[in-house]
Structure 1
Amino acid sequence: MVAYPPLKAVRYFEAAARHLSFSKAAEELSVTHSAISHQIKALESWLGVPLFERGTRQVALTDAGRRFLPPVRSGLLQIAEAARDVSIATRGGPIVVSVLPSVAARWLVPKLHDFRSRHPDIDVRISATGRVETIGDGDIDIAIRFGRGHWSGVTAELLLANDLFPVCSPKLPSEDKPLKEPRDLLQYPLLTDSDWAGANYDFWRDWLTAAGVEDARYRPGLSFNVSNLLMQAAVDGLGIAIGNTMLAGEDLRQGRLIRPFDFTVWPDSGFYVCYAKSALQRPKIKAFRDWLFDQIEVDRQMQQGPNGRGPVTSGILQPATPEKIGA
């Protein structure tokens, strides 16, 4: 078992050695001269060697004191830095949120004013990236990830299931190319997200197959590496995108996009809230996690139609029975 010297005496020694004055050390620590002298004598007794050569008006370090001072300073500095880090982690400092750029732009950032109004004492820093960043051990406190929920070392809670449906500008469908059945979508450029393909997702294939277009041979009209650009291209009438509530919800509510077919497919993927296993013990992380789920509930209520009997959609076909793929 390690024998620790009296820590108060060590702190008093460091101040006196730094100033080479018991009086200045006493002033810095807001104690009396005799308190400094008493604690240093106790430390010297514990060590068994003198640390100071005491003169009439000044003091000087002995050889033992000079050897003792550097590790004492280093140790006290480490303690101070550790205390600061713990304080920042538990009470101060921003909460760092890792999120896909598209989710940040189209869903999270427009809602942050609500979090700020509820928690004005919690600062938020957004790390918008497509990379899977380390959570907990690094700088990231909490993340919104897209996938199937299988990430090692973290808790992953399903925030919103991936509901797939085509979306387009209300100005896109034309009289010479009407959208009467799902196969008619193939008359238009089909917009895709290249990142989905890189992650072994083919959401257009999933939706078309579930909608009965099993032999569809489609060629992407335009491909984007982030879904934010994909949704904007659909708003601008460049083609028809495969979307979901997370990315297209606000554009649907504002009428910038419509659903040409009221038919939804549910793959085995979704948006997850991820955090280190013990992270919810930290109030600011729990507050942000709870707020995310509150916002999803707000969105769900906003999407309900009259009397809460169904989602508000703009469509040409009558509603079809939703199907699940890979569930």
Structure 2
Amino acid sequence: MPGFAIDASVIKADANRTRGIAGTEAIDWSRGEGPSRAVREYLATLDANDAEGHATAALQEPATSPKNISLTDPAARWTAAPGGPAFYAYSTNYLIDLQAGIIVDVEATPAYRTQEVDSTRIMIDRVAQRFHLKPQRLVGDTAYGSASMLAWMIDDKAIEPHVPVWENKTRSDDTLPNSDFQWLEQSNEYRCPTRHALRSERRQFPPVRLSSTHPLPISSRQQGLSMRRGVPSLSALQAFEAAARHESFSKAAAELSQTHGAVCKKVNELEAHLGITLFDRVRQRLVLSAAGAEYARRIRVHLDQIRRDTLELMRKQSEVKIQLAVGVTFASQWLIPRLHDFYELNPDLQLHIMGRDQPTFFDNSSFDAAIYFGQSLWPAMPGQPLVSDDKILAVCAPGLNGSRDGLSSEKISALPWIHTRDLPRAWLAWSETASTRVIEHSATNQHYDMFIMAINAAISGLGVALLPRILIDRELRSGALVQVHPHSIPNPESVYYSFPEQKRDWEPLKRFDQWLGAAVRDYREGCRRDRTAAVEAALAPH
């Protein structure tokens, strides 16, 4: 519910305390050398207001005479409201938007309560005129709870008052003042100190009297503790937990950025609604009762969980996830080892990588893009080839390679050959082109369903494998695998990058596309350097 809060700060006037006279004295401003500039401006403002016929209706002159009037700044008000010696002062009145946490208007008045309160009307009207903002509720302290102010809020402006009722009468007829009544949310009733209930449904009440001697149900109920379904309000539990942890209302108030009185009131209301003493007041010290200590321990666990859940929700909402379908081996061997650079450049993006190899998954999934081996782009899927000139290399573990120059075709034919599902004819194509005569394989064959299995078999020394260069880049550089024969064959499949048409202009995907292209260019450049180094090594004298 959008709402405003109203409050005032006392600002000391630049007026000497000794240069003043009693407020009851008559003042002849024409005496001496004439009034000062401040006095002339003050008098001119009064004349202008009178001429316009409104005489600051919202900011009426105080009904009571000030105790002292400054001769140099007569608009300043003699006050001791902040405590300590009295001085001349003004009030700066603030209207605060509770949802945005900003000051939407300011109005200066003399440091007089009636004028401070009446400035609220000016600011509410001015904000509505300037910014087209109207609060549904107004929060203030007891000073704003007068009968006339409450009537203006409810009847004239339809604003829900969240202010304590200001009862300025001293009871002399043995009746109970407002402050003695307590609102109980669960039973929907007021209770007097003698524990008698005052329920609204027992009889039809006349319209609410806007009198300083009668409480307003709206504002008074808002002060009560919400106990819907037996659960106290979160603010009351936070106040109690902080006070229990510090064993001090003052330290709890400082931690929660609240006043000492606000924290004390919430804890007292919590105790009243629970019917349990949570704190014992021992020699002006706050000591947890046994029930209070146990309740605080349990509440702390749940408040911590609420905090963690809230932070996790905020973190998830701030992240952008890209659902990426990638072949398992390509993700493990090539993509994932390079993601550190991607996250450094794009800390606000998260990749959710799923292992997929078939083109049909886009029909019933929420994937944003895919990287896969294939002989063409998937139908009706925009994209581009990432690597289309990859080579198939004959590799094995260093222990099977007995020579620095690799193995001959004949020696390779005597070793176990490792086959993969996606390259079923690779060994036939390689053997037909690796030598002037067809190589007859005389050893055992091993078959694996996925490239990652064949790679690990080769690393383990189980035989010689024909594998795409792009999938064994790290192993070749680290020496875990070695190329045992210089002959290679073209990879019949290219690496493609595709995405749904509706994702083409999605900004996070365009950023991933840009990074992926740069990573492929770096990989190609590394391959070129490796080929150059291999040629130079072959030509070098041994």
Aligned-pair CA distance for 1:267: 3.8
The 5-angstrom pairing of residues 188-267 of structure 1 reads 188-197=415-424, 202-212=425-435, 215-218=438-441, 221-267=445-491
Letter in 2 for 1:147: G
The letter for the 1-side match of 2:354 is S
Q: Counterpart amino acid of 2:399?
A: K
Q: Deviations over 1:49-79 (max 9, x none)?
A: xxxxxxx99xxxxxxxxxxxxxxxxxxxxxx
Contact 2:401 2:407 in 1 (8 A): no
The aligned residue for residue 187 of structure 1 is: 414
Q: TM-score, normalised by structure 2?
A: 0.38
Alignment partner of 1:164 out of 392, 397, 419: 392
- Please tell me whether the aligned partners of residues 415 and 444 of structure 2 are also in contact (alpha carbons under 8 angstroms): no
Show the counterpart of 2:514. 290
Structure-2 separation of matches of 1:228 and 1:180: 24
Matched, 1:142 2:366: no
TM-aligned CA deviation for residue 250 of structure 1: 1.0
The one-letter amino acid of 1:169's match is: A
Q: CA RMSD in A?
A: 3.8
Pairing partner for 1:124 from 347, 351, 358: 351
Q: Secondary structure at the match of 1:113?
A: helix
**Structure 1 stretch displaced more, 121-130 or 210-219:** 210-219
Distance 1:245 1:182 in 2: 20
Partner AA of 1:277 in structure 2: E
How far residue 117 of structure 1 moved from its aligned partner, in angstroms, is 0.4
Give TM-score scaled by structure 1 length: 0.61
What does 1:5-24 align with in structure 2 at a 5 Å threshold? Answer: none
The one-letter amino acid of 1:134's match is: F
Could you say what secondary structure the match of 1:157 adopts? strand
Whichever residue aligns with residue 521 of structure 2, its letter is E
> Whole-Å Cα distance in 2 between the matches of residues 94 and 292 of structure 1?
16
Could you tell me which amino acid in structure 2 is paired with residue 261 of structure 1?
A: H
Matched ranges for 1:265-304 at <5 A: 265-304=489-528
SS in 2 for 1:153: coil
Q: CA deviation at 1:35?
A: 11
Q: Deviation of residue 181 (structure 1)? A: 3.0
Map of 1:10 onto structure 2:
none
Aligned residue identity for 1:258: V
Percent identity reads: 20
Name which structure has the greater RCO, CA cutoff 8 Å, separation 6+: 1
Q: Determine if contact 1:165/1:265 at 8 Å carries over to the other structure.
A: yes
Q: After TM superposition, give the deviation of residue 305 of structure 1 in Å.
A: 3.2
The 5 Å alignment of 1:88-127 reads 93-127=320-354
Secondary structure of 1:158's counterpart equals strand
Given that residues 329 and 450 in structure 2 are in contact (C-alpha distance below 8 angstroms), is that contact kept between their aligned partners in structure 1? yes
* Higher strand proportion (structure 1 or 2): 2
| Structure 2 equivalent of residue 70 of structure 1 | none
Unaligned runs of 5+ in 2: 1-134, 138-153, 159-206, 209-317
Is the partner of 1:152 in helix, strand or coil? coil
Q: CA 1:248–1:120 in 2, change beyond 3 Å: closer, same or farther?
A: same
The answer on whether the counterparts of 2:359 and 2:378 sit within 8 Å (CA) in structure 1 is no
What whole-Å deviation, never above 9, does each CA across 1:206-248 have from its counterpart, x for those lacking one? 2222223663454762221111121111111111110122111
Paired with 1:313 and 1:172, the residues of 2 have a C-alpha distance of 20
Query: CA, structure 1 residues 35+165, in 2 after alignment: closer, same or farther (shift >3 Å)?
Result: farther
